[in-house]
Amino acid sequence: MIFAPRTGWIGADLGSHAVKLAQVERRGGLYCLKSVLAVQRPAPWPGNDLHRAEARSSREELTAAYSLGGFAGRYAACSLSMAACEVAELPDDAQIVAEDLLSVARTLDELHGELPGGRVADTWPVAPSGGKRQDNSRMTLSLSRAWASQVAADHAQSGLVCRVLDGLPLCLARAIQMTQNEAMASRPVAALDWGCGQATLCIVLHGAPQFVRVLRHCQLQILTEALQQATGASLAETSLLLTRHGLPAPTQPIESMQLALADPVQPSLDALTDEVERTTAYLRSYRPDWAPKEFVLFGGGATIRNIESVLQERWGAPVRAWSMPQDESSEPPNAPLALFGPAAALSLLGCATK
């Protein structure tokens, strides 16, 4: 009998502000984080229209994280910031060939006015109302071939072998599935990746992303820049203030520093919560089977102290930051665990490979 490996691949989440690496280990039917490491970029990637920008390298960050993190093996799986990708429903004339990714890519080349072979894509089925799947109901995620080639080259130059380039919505769904029991898998969950360069909301049901929406002008960078302007603090100092002090919690004693932080970030927080409320209202009206029963936070926004209780009061549903058990013998993480959800989900692909 051939058993799946206990230790997963190295999962590499290439974000606009940092590169996060994680490796999971399977112990019986459970998983734990074996190694994690985050490396900040010297200069953040621009958050807007990154998918139209020239492909950028992550080689230095990958090399540093791989050499310092105590990771096992060389095989890796990777995802790229959603700011470099585009997600949409397939056009009707592409749905009949949805399983043929080359045909999908050609269709997307035409839609984006690119030369043949200019884009790479992945596609997955979406369940219509009632839970039955139809071949002509699918989502697609794509990015330019230049970005995909750059990612592969960066891994190779860092000593890694990239086996899979995955999409963030699929990573978020897998990260939630890793921390759910079977009874919870039938409940729709909203995965909110509140990243520095992009905010992405996914509805996850039965382990798959059923609905994906990029929340325009809601990226964490807008909030941190407002705080920097108000306080004169650096980006690193701003991140520390948000993580250490955070925002006033509805049911906890309020600190004076929290009050000082709350005012400058309020417009950005309102924009995010309004977009999420607008999206969930739409789902309750048109797809009630997808209306979320719980929110799971990923990305830098999930590291803000008290953010779960702040958002829970606004949205009226349980909110939690993503986390999973960590190997007691491993080094303490150099960043909050909520940053490593996609990377952990990427690592899991290696455990599932025989």
- The pLDDT value recorded for residue 65 is 96
The answer to whether residue 343 sits within a structural domain is: no
**Segment 253-277, tens digit of pLDDT:** 889 999 999 999 999 999 999 999 9
- The pLDDT value recorded for residue 211 is 93
Structural contact between residues 16 and 47, judged by C-beta atoms closer than 8 angstroms: yes
The answer to whether residue 106 sits within a structural domain is: no
CATH number at residue 308: 3.30.420.40
Q: Which residue has the tokens 């925002």?
A: 247
The answer to whether residue 248 sits within a structural domain is: yes
- The pLDDT value recorded for residue 135 is 47
**Segment 60-110, tens digit of pLDDT:** 999 999 999 999 999 999 999 998 888 877 654 444 444 555 555 555 555
CA 107 to chain CA mean position, Å: 26
Q: How confident is the model at residue 252 (pLDDT cuts 50, 70, 90)?
A: confident
**Segment 174-205, tens digit of pLDDT:** 999 988 776 677 899 999 999 998 999 999 99
How far, in Å, CA of 211 to CA of 35, rounded?
Answer: 31
- The pLDDT value recorded for residue 46 is 78
Q: pLDDT exceeding 90 applies to what percent of the chain?
A: 61
The answer to whether residue 136 sits within a structural domain is: no
How far, in Å, CA of 330 to CA of 123, rounded?
Answer: 36
Q: pLDDT exceeding 70 applies to what percent of the chain?
A: 84
Angle at 242 (CA atoms; ends 251, 32), nearest 5 degrees: 85
pTM of the model: 0.89
Two structure tokens written together for 76: 């890796």
**Segment 99-156, tens digit of pLDDT:** 555 555 555 555 555 545 677 888 888 876 554 444 456 788 888 889 999 999 999 9
Residue 8: C-alpha distances to residues 27, 161, 166, 239, 348 (Å): 11, 13, 15, 30, 5
Q: How confident is the model at residue 164 (pLDDT cuts 50, 70, 90)?
A: very high
Domain containing 317 equals 182-321
The answer to whether residue 201 sits within a structural domain is: yes
How far, in Å, CA of 312 to CA of 277, rounded?
Answer: 12
How many structural domains are present in the chain?
Answer: 1
- The pLDDT value recorded for residue 329 is 74
The answer to whether residue 5 sits within a structural domain is: no
Positions of E strands within the chain = 10-14, 18-27, 30-40, 75-80, 86-89, 119-125, 138-144, 161-166, 189-194, 199-205, 208-215, 294-298, 319-321
